[in-house]
Amino acid sequence: MSYQWLTLWRYADTFLDAAWLTLQVTLLAFALAVALGLLSALAKASPLAPLRWISHCYVEFIRNTPVLLQIFIIFFGLPSLGITMSAFTAGVLALGINVGAYLSETFRAGIQSVPKGQLEAAWVLGIPRRQVFLTVVLPQAARAVWPAIINNLIQLLLGTSLLSAIALPELTGTATVINARTLLYIQTFSVVALVYLVLSNLFSWLGTIAGRRMFHPPLVTPIKKSAWWWARKWLTNPVKRENAL
């Protein structure tokens, strides 16, 4: 058994490279997803019917089709139209588009949670709509849906395993190759499961810290009053002096 683990240890650098590639895909795809989700949420709230229709079609198509099918359409289907891209680019694009549809509904729910009275008060004060959105709506909406955003990030991380189907050497794809070479099924996939577990908990921990920093006001340390301050306050308060006497 120890010999089997030593055999697998020779692939430590390969696992690290795969983990780094997985992180790159996750972060780039999530940045794309946030941008698409925010644009789609704003389009759904737009008074223009074509924008609402495009956003609705985008969300409904993505949410009601398998993500693996979407990956195949981008990687294998687009080359027939003359659009060729690497497995890395196709993976980032496919996962970003997929998660963006879910974030669209998340952002829309957050925007709708902001009280309309605050918007009306800002408009009465003559604040431009762009500034109202950036300073009033967006911070409150982000605070309301922050746990859901972090959950989507973790789901995106786990979804990168599907990119092994297009031969991207991320964690799951690399584990499949190493397993074919060594035939150490339990050891190989246990290591990959442990890496996914560490990365998921890391994202959750960082998300919690970021949420506390951004959405919770700093604690105000009370000023410690001296004994002379309390004595002077008691002497200058006639009600307390009469009750004491």
Which of 5, 17, 22 has the alpha carbon at shortest distance from 188? 5
Please indicate, yes or no, whether the overall pTM of this predicted structure exceeds 0.95.
no
Nearest Cα neighbor of 166 from 234, 79, 231 is 79
pLDDT at 106: 92
3: pLDDT confidence band, cut at 50, 70 and 90?
low
SS3 217: coil
Average pLDDT over residues 23-52: 93
Q: Letter for the amino acid at 179?
A: N
Q: Which of 103, 104, 149, 141 is nearest to 119 (CA)?
A: 141
3-state helix, strand, coil split of the chain in percent (to 5) is 85, 0, 15
What is the sign of the dihedral through the CA atoms of 82, 86, 92 and 98? positive
16 or 8, higher pLDDT? 16
Segment 180-190 shows an average pLDDT of: 88
Mean pLDDT for all residues in the chain: 85
Helical H runs in the chain?
2-9, 12-44, 49-63, 67-72, 87-112, 116-124, 129-132, 138-159, 171-182, 185-215, 227-235, 238-244
Asked whether the predicted pLDDT for residue 177 surpasses 50, the reply is: yes
CA angle, 152 then 109 then 44, to 5°: 100
Residue 47 sits at φ, ψ, to 5 deg, of: -75, -10
| pLDDT tens column, 41-100 | 989 888 889 999 999 999 999 999 999 999 999 999 999 888 999 999 999 999 999 999
Residues 6+ positions from 63 with CB-CB distance below 8 Å: 101, 102
- How far is residue 99's CA from residue 104's CA, in Å, rounded to a whole number? 9
Please give the DSSP secondary-structure letter assigned to residue 66. -
Percent of the chain at pLDDT above 70? 87
How far is C-alpha 107 from the geometric centre of its chain's CA atoms? 12
Phi, psi (deg, nearest 5) at residue 220: -90, 120
